[in-house]
Amino acid sequence: MNSEPETATIYYSPFTIYRINVTPERWQQVEEILQRVLDRPPPDRVSFLDQVCRDDAELRAEAASLINAYDEAGDFIEVPAFATDARILLGGESEHQIGREIGPYTIRECLGVGGMGEVYLAHDGRLGRLVALKILPVYFASDDARLRRFQREAQAASALNHPNILTIHEVGETDETRFIATEFIEGDTVRELIDRRELSREQILDIADQVASALAAAHAAGIVHRDIKPENIMRRRDGLVKILDFGIAKLVEPPSTDLVSERALTKSYTEIGVVMGTVGYMSPEQARAQAVDERTDVWSLGVVLYEMLTGQLPFPGATRMDTMVSILEREPTPLAAASGHPDEFQRVIDKALRKDRDDRYQSAAEFAADLKSIREHPKVAPVAKPKADRSSLRPAWFNYFLILGAVVLLLAVGGTILYRRLALRERNAASAVTTKSYLQMSDAEQMQFIAKQEQRISQMMGDHRGKPNEEAVRAIKAYLDYRLRVDRQTNGEGDGSLRAVYGRAGPYVPLIARSFAARKVPIIIGIYLPVIESGFRPCYENAIGAKGLFQFVPETAKNYGVARDEMCDAEKMTPAAAHYIADRMAELGEDSESVTLVLLSYNRGAESVREMLRQLRGTDNYERNFWMLYAHRNELGDTFRNESAGYVPNFFAAAIIGENPQAFGLNFEPLSTMK
Amino acid sequence: MLESAPMTTLSADNLTGLLFEWRQGDEAALEKLTPLVYDELRRIAHRYVRRERDGHTLQTTALVNEAYVRLAGRQKIEWQDRSHFFAVTANVMRHILIDHARRRHYAKRGGDAQHVALDEADAMSHQRARELVALDQALEALAKLDPRKSQVVELRYFGGLSMEETAEVLEVSLMTVRRDWRVAKAWLFKEVNGEW
């Protein structure tokens, strides 16, 4: 082994100097010696080392070299990387970028920083003009998905040649930097114009008209923007409007792809779902993860027009979910009520914001034509046409039916799902009185309550030998409190609220009950696994997509007859999960301890269950009871420790809430009694 | 502003939710957290560099803490969330630096004029790039041998955490972190610098 000379071959990797032959077991041995030696004062170390390694020269050499290294290391890695390398993080933003040359471009100033890159004003030395140079940050430049999005933007937009679409000059790359050079616009985004409330009705019509014309041209070229919003529209000082960021534009599928499986479309939606932070401008078909066409841009432009006219979004919502529900189900407040604009504006908005795209303007050109006719033949009288806003009369819980509706709709993509509103029907308030609210209990009462419920739930899982110790009860409590906190933070209405989480599980109970009964697996596991496994989120919202009601590693899924792309399909996953658990229990024994083990390694596959068992039997504390495992978790391997510290208490927390809904302010039956 | 890029908008609720999901092993949650943390790290770096220029130094821990408070809003901060935020931050920081170092390191191969210009402008020296690449590889080897020690180093070195905070994040005693640290440091130093 060697120390690389300073000037040497940096081009090859000189760092392959690890002695891979050291096993973790051997390392433990070495470390133990090392720790004991280091516990001694420096003068005593050598003699001590000789003493403990008397019979093992190799061990002595190994330990000695590490002690030398320890002595030599000085302040090696003692100063956090941040102090040395903070500038790297700044990448382009710091002024050392100013004056930097990238290809023919010299950076002059920073125009802005966004999630997808920094934008600079730069001078093009070849053509003597100013350009906007967008540079991908180092981190994202190594992220292939982002890179593809970035390149797609360039390609799609370059294919267009329209005054209202930002011109791309060049897409380039140096070894370290990827950039896109576009024409430089001096002006404001429509977002800024809306915020400053300085747009006249005439200017609004003009902007909408220009955007519609540009979209018509893009659509004619087969490009859908998909992300029209005020941030993506700029107005130059002379009034010329430009659409930016054809970043997620995608060629409209040729007609034959109408046959493309809906699953594939769901996938592309999830990919896009990752990029698009703003749901307010999303069309109903985007919210439903359906195929997108030019009428989606018509919708989004309709939303932008509404916002320019009223200063408000037509489909407001506190969370993404709320907004999506609003988009799918509600009608916007009429313009007259919101801002007193003439009736004809209302007509255009109505036509652009039809939920069913077949009822919308069928093209941006049609939209543009209507906008033009308003400009050319203005009618005067603003006519208020108040329309009952039924949606505002709906109780809050109704929204969750709608969310569930949307969830089910998406899950139904892969199969049919039982959806029973029954599960969430508000219960008679009188029955809630019998249980004391968890939140009203003292800390001691809460602990007692949890311990008691743990016993009850363990019984439902089979026989249970041990009692949880206080530490374990605390662990459950931490998860319970976490969920309650999320609930409070979202006023009981957010995506992670108890109502949403348990409401999500409810409709599946009949399906789970059926499948788990068929395999003789306790139904309680079937109910609370999904609450954990879906990580609070229904399948469709997950960026990976390969996650269902029950989470499997793809390999396991395959062994139980579920294809990779079927893992969001509850009808497939539920019986497979029951089957898998039954098989493991048959190997381990049918008691709650076995169930615990299966739970601990559920999403890691059969081999890991066996491995875990092997590991356990190898320890002195072999005892399959979970709470014993919990107490001894630090002596077990990393995987197992983490699972045992997090997963099972989380499971119990979920089950305690679901079995005692009223104690947590939820008006539905305990999930295990819904059949 | 010339243009604004689409950016995942994450609320504080989502932050705690994502941290929780990440802890549950959801890789997608990390993917969603990363841009958020990245932006925050840049903000921290900005302040750090500015203060440094004025002749002050700031505790990175204090800065990361501040970032968390900013992201999580004014709510009461639970130690678990904070811990996981630290862990994510350390991980993202490592990723960014190593990525930059690798590019820097391998880019040395090229030799055209344009490249030389870039070379001079880079804030990371070749020497430093080399160190980081070596350290990263050694850390990976250590992770295979002794995962917790590698985590300790990631949190301390890339996350800027104190011993105490590292202990909190890993849910082990302060003593354990101290002992892990001294051994990991010796081991890594030896790996990075060759045999002794």
Both tokens of A495, joined, read: 């995506």
Among candidates A477, A470, A510, A533, which has minimal Cα distance to A652? A477
Work out whether strand A129-135 and strand A241-243 pair parallel, antiparallel, or are unpaired: unpaired
User: What's residue A110's pLDDT?
Assistant: 72
> Is the distance from CB of A305 to CB of A352 less than 8 angstroms?
yes
- 10 Å CB burial of residue A205 (0-12, 13-18, 19+) is buried
For A343, how many CA atoms within 13 A lie in the half-sphere containing its CB? Answer: 9
pLDDT at B117 over 50: no
DSSP structure class, residue A111: E
Kindly report which listed range (A243-257, A389-403, A431-445, A463-477) carries the lowest average pLDDT score. Answer: A389-403
Query: With bands split at pLDDT 50, 70 and 90, how would you rate the model's confidence at A96?
Result: low
Query: Is the CB of A100 less than 8 angstroms away from the CB of B121?
Result: yes
Report, as an integer, the average pLDDT of B150-161.
92
- Per-residue pLDDT tens for A373-395? 888 876 543 333 333 333 333 33
Q: Which residues pair with A355 in a beta bridge?
A: none
Residue of A50, A71, A195, A227 marked catalytic: A227
Q: Is the pLDDT of residue A14 over 50?
A: no
Confirm whether A71 is a catalytic residue: no
Q: What is the pLDDT of residue A449?
A: 92
Separation of alpha carbons A38 and A29, rounded Å = 14
Give me the pLDDT at residue B76, please. Answer: 52
Which whole number is the average pLDDT over A501-518? Answer: 78
pLDDT of residue A221: 74
Indicate the length of chain B as a whole number.
Answer: 196
Confidence of residue A88 (pLDDT cuts 50, 70, 90): confident
Q: What is the pLDDT of residue A156?
A: 66
Average pLDDT of the segment spanning A335-359: 86
Nearest-by-Cβ selection for B145 from A24, A495, A645: A24
CA distance A574 to A509: 10
For the residues A480-504, what does the mean pLDDT come to? 71
CB-CB contact of A598 with A585 (8 Å) = yes
What integer pLDDT is reported at residue A207 of this predicted model? 95
pLDDT-wise least confident of A166-170, A447-451, A547-551: A547-551
The pLDDT of residue A435 is 62
Query: Residue A174 corresponds to which tokens in the numbers above?
Result: 């140096």
Strands (E), A125-258: 129-135, 168-173, 178-183, 187-189, 223-224, 233-236, 241-243, 250-251
A670: phi then psi, degrees, rounded to nearest 5: -55, 135
CA-based torsion, A274, A561, A615, B139: positive or negative: negative
Rounded mean pLDDT, A200-204: 91
Residue of B nearest to A186 (CA): B2
Q: What is the pLDDT of residues A208-236, one digit of tens each?
A: 999 999 998 888 877 788 889 898 899 98
Does B100 contact A138 at a Cβ distance shorter than 8 Å?
yes
Residue A416 has pLDDT above 50, yes or no: no
- Per-residue confidence (pLDDT) for residue A137, from 0 to 100: 56
What pLDDT, on the 0 to 100 scale, is given for residue A359? 93
pLDDT tens-digit profile of A526-538? 877 766 654 434 4
- Candidates B8, B78, B190; nearest CB to A277: B8
Q: What are the backbone angles phi and psi of residue A129, rounded to the nearest 5°?
A: -130, 165
Q: How far apart are CA A82 and CA B58, in angstroms?
A: 11
Cα–Cα distance measured from residue A14 to residue A2, given in angstroms and rounded to the nearest whole number = 10
- Laid out side by side, the sheet with A241-243 consists of A187-189, A233-236, A241-243
Interchain pair B39, A115: CB under 8 A = yes
Is A181:A169 a contact under the CB 8 Å cutoff?
yes
| Phi and psi based region of residue A32 (left: phi greater than 0; alpha: psi -120 to 50; beta: remaining) | alpha
The answer to whether A649 and A472 have CB atoms below 8 angstroms apart is: yes
pLDDT at A325: 77
pLDDT for residue A289:
67
Quick one: average pLDDT of A366-370? 93
SS3 A183: strand
User: Cβ contacts (< 8 Å) between A245 and chain B: which residues?
Assistant: 3, 5-6
**pLDDT tens profile A300-332:** 999 999 999 998 899 987 666 667 778 888 888
Nearest-CB residue to B96 (from A4, A101, A139): A139
CA distance A382 to A404: 39
Query: What is the structure's pLDDT at A404?
Result: 44
How close are the terminal C-alpha atoms of chain B, in Å? 55
Greater confidence (A631 vs B165) lies with B165
Under 8 Å between Cβ of A353 and A302: yes
**Tens digits of residue pLDDT in A269-289:** 323 332 334 678 889 888 776
Q: What is the ipTM of this complex?
A: 0.82
CB–CB of B2 and A276 under 8 A?
no
Task: Write down the pLDDT at residue B196.
Answer: 40
For residue A358, the model assigns a pLDDT of 93
Please name the helix (run of DSSP H) or strand (run of DSSP E) that holds residue B172, with its range, or none: none
Give the model's confidence band at B108: pLDDT under 50 very low, under 70 low, under 90 confident, else very high.
very low
Higher-confidence residue of A266 and B163: namely: B163
Do residue B108 and residue A11 have CB atoms under 8 angstroms apart? yes
**What's the Cα-to-Cα distance from A594 to each of A245, A458, A605, A625, A659, rounded to whole Å?**
54, 12, 15, 9, 22
User: At CA A343, angle to CA A340 and CA A348, rounded to 5?
Assistant: 110
B70 to chain A, closest Cα gap in Å: 16
Per-residue pLDDT of A637-655, as tens digits, reads 665 665 666 677 878 888 8
Lowest average pLDDT, out of A26-40, A163-177, A610-624, B148-162, goes to: A610-624
Q: What pLDDT, on a 0 to 100 scale, did the predictor assign at position A415?
A: 30
Pick from A60-74, A249-263, A484-498, B50-64: least confident: A249-263
